[in-house]
Homo-oligomer: A and B are copies of this chain.
């Protein structure tokens, strides 16, 4: 249906394709077709969980290549060496004590944790609520199980308390703790623990580390207030030798400036506890739907649109680092990058990280997004963990900001499944993503590049 009309418009407009007719066609096709939701359904049902280094991750690579091929877009694998971590048996118990029977601890190993010896590890619990408090306790945690408790209540608390999971176990291990339990970083709770990566430095002393359910954290908190509490945990997880995997990269070559790249990314890997519908199946589906709609246009956008499905965002960021290294020579010509890794919530607006004047340029593209409730420039930070290695090359970053109010209800848990996703909200986000991507690739002007990051600035981490 669009072919003739769009062709005419695209060639006649002063900025070809930035005409509202094109915007309307792209957005309404994304919204009405619900193509992203269909892609997501197939990804979670046909591929399932896809932790880096697993068979599922390799199935996901093959599946993604097939999707691009089916829409006539050439795609390739780019090699990425990834860490391989596998989950095993998991068992936790609060041991019986005077006046109290034992009870199960609902827990799940953190990615990167070593296993325990067979039969598990036992120890007395020390409750800690910040890394600073851990340092104050110092040698007092030696031989103990450090229980990191916190008060996460809203999504924004993830940033505040996230370091308890990513850095807490290593810090506790350095002080001689025998294991670490971290209260799940969650905004809803039905006894489901939420996993995620924990990091140990090269050569550090590794201790077993697990997330416990919010319910069990509340129980431990009550019990510790009353007297000594001992727990046992048994984790069968293992760290295996690194293995080769792949990013999946597909280009739609630009009609005028094929050397200029607009990158749209998401991460193909997920945690292993569920099919990763939200994190980041949703992002993968948004990328695929954008590729499909742009590939169908009768006239290619001015610049190259590059679709990158990164491997290993969750527990290593190797895909992102490898991409930045392999494409170092091209990064000066990456005119913009956007990563979709914030779930499947409805779109709220657009944010930008660019040089002076970048916001004003983006604002010119926003009126058509009013149709999906996202026609505003937001002050949020534009970002994405996989884009962090591009910061040194001063690649402008744009984000379609989404409603994340329920994101941490299921994040990294066994409940990150398709049923949580509202097809209508998701399709609106899909409309916003296709249009913003198109505008970035088609606009006569490119975004001014942001200033170089301060030396030593965080280079981004897996989520």
Indicate if the CB atoms of B41 and A413 lie closer than 8 Å. no
B41 touches A222 (CB 8 A): yes
Q: Which of A132-140, A186-194, A291-299 contacts B (4 or more CB under 8 A)?
A: A186-194
A415-B216 Cα distance, complex, nearest whole Å: 10
Nearest neighbor of A100 in chain B, beta-carbon distance: B46
State how many copies of this chain the complex holds. 2
Which one of A55, A191, A218, A274 has the greatest number of beta carbons of chain B within 10 Å? A191
Report whether A417 and B219 are in contact in the complex, using a CB–CB cutoff of 8 Å: yes
Q: Decide: A48 and B191 in contact? CB cutoff 8 A.
A: no
Complex Cα gap A59–B100 (Å): 10
A47→B219 contact, CB < 8 A: no
Tell me if A456 counts as interface (CB < 8 A to partner B): no
Q: How many A residues touch the partner, as a band?
A: 35 or more
A46 to B101, CA, bound (A): 7
Q: Counting CB contacts under 8 A, is A214 at the interface?
A: yes
List the B side residues contacting A78 at CB < 8 Å.
Answer: none
Within 8 A of B (CB), among A171-214: 188-192, 214
Q: Is A391 an interface residue (CB 8 A)?
A: no
Query: Known: A219-B45, A222-B41, A222-B45. Contact between A190 and B415, CB under 8 A?
Result: yes
Residues of B within 8 A of A41 (CB): 222
Contact of A419 among B48, B59, B192, B218 (CB under 8 A): B218
Inter-chain contact B46/A215, CB cutoff 8 Å: no
Q: Which chain B positions have C-beta within 8 A of A49?
A: 103
Whether a CB of chain B sits under 8 angstroms from the CB of A418 is: yes
- Decide yes or no: A103 and B48 within 8 Å by CB, A190-B189, A191-B274 being known contacts: yes
Quick check: is A446 within 8 A (CB to CB) of the other chain? no
A414 within 8 A of B: yes
A99 near B: Cβ within 8 Å? Answer: yes
Q: Given A190-B189, A190-B409, A413-B191: A218 and B101 within 8 A (CB)?
A: no
- Residues of chain B within 8 A of A219, CB atoms compared: 45, 417-418
With a cutoff of 8 Å between Cβ atoms, the chain B residues found around residue A99 in the complex are 46
Q: Which of chain B's residues has its CB closest to A217's CB?
A: B419
Within the assembled complex, what's the spacing in Å between the Cα atoms of A189 and B190?
7
Which residues of chain A in 14-55 are interfacial with respect to chain B, using CB atoms and an 8 Å cutoff? Answer: 41, 45-49, 55
> Once the chains bind, are A214 and B419 in contact (CB under 8 Å)?
yes
A106 at the interface (CB under 8 A from B): yes
A385 contacts the other chain (CB 8 A): no
**Would you call A270 an interface residue if the criterion is a C-beta within 8 Å of the partner chain's C-beta atoms?**
no
Q: Which of chain A's residues 53-106 have a Cβ closer than 8 Å to chain B?
A: 55-56, 59, 99-101, 103, 106
Chain B residues whose C-beta falls within 8 Å of the C-beta of A100 in the assembled complex? 45-46, 48
Would you give the shortest CB distance from A271 to chain B, in whole angstroms? 13
Q: Which residues of B contact A59 (CB under 8 A)?
A: 101
Instruction: Decide yes or no whether A410 CB sits under 8 A from chain B.
Output: yes
* Contact B48–A418 (Cβ < 8 Å): no
Check B191–A101 contact: CB distance below 8 A.
Answer: no
Query: Which residues between 398 and 418 of chain A lie within 8 Å of chain B, taking CB atoms?
Result: 409-410, 413-415, 417-418
Given A45-B219, A218-B417; A410-B190 close (CB under 8 Å): yes
Q: Name the residue among A48, A59, A409 with the largest chain B CB count within 10 angstroms.
A: A48
| Residues in chain B near residue A413, CB distance under 8 A | 190-191
Residue among B45, B192, B218, B418 making CB contact with A192, cutoff 8 Å: B192
A100 to chain B, nearest CB (A): 6
Nearest Cβ distance between residue A281 and chain B, in whole angstroms?
A: 14
Distance in Å: Cβ of A156 to nearest Cβ of chain B: 21
A427 interface contact, C-beta 8 A = no
Q: A215-B419, A218-B419 are in contact. Are A47 and B190 (CB under 8 A)?
A: no
A430 at the interface (CB under 8 A from B): no
Chain B residues with Cβ below 8 Å from A166 are none
| Interchain Cβ contacts under 8 Å between A and B, 16 examples | A45-B223, A103-B275, A188-B190, A189-B415, A190-B190, A190-B191, A190-B409, A190-B415, A191-B415, A191-B417, A214-B419, A215-B417, A215-B419, A218-B418, A218-B419, A219-B417
Give 10 nearest A-B pairs by CB, closest first: A190-B190, A190-B415, A191-B414, A191-B415, A215-B417, A218-B419, A190-B192, A48-B103, A48-B101, A46-B100
Known: A46-B100, A188-B190, A191-B274; 9 extra A-B contacts, CB below 8 A, are A45-B222, A48-B100, A48-B101, A103-B275, A190-B413, A192-B192, A218-B417, A219-B417, A219-B418
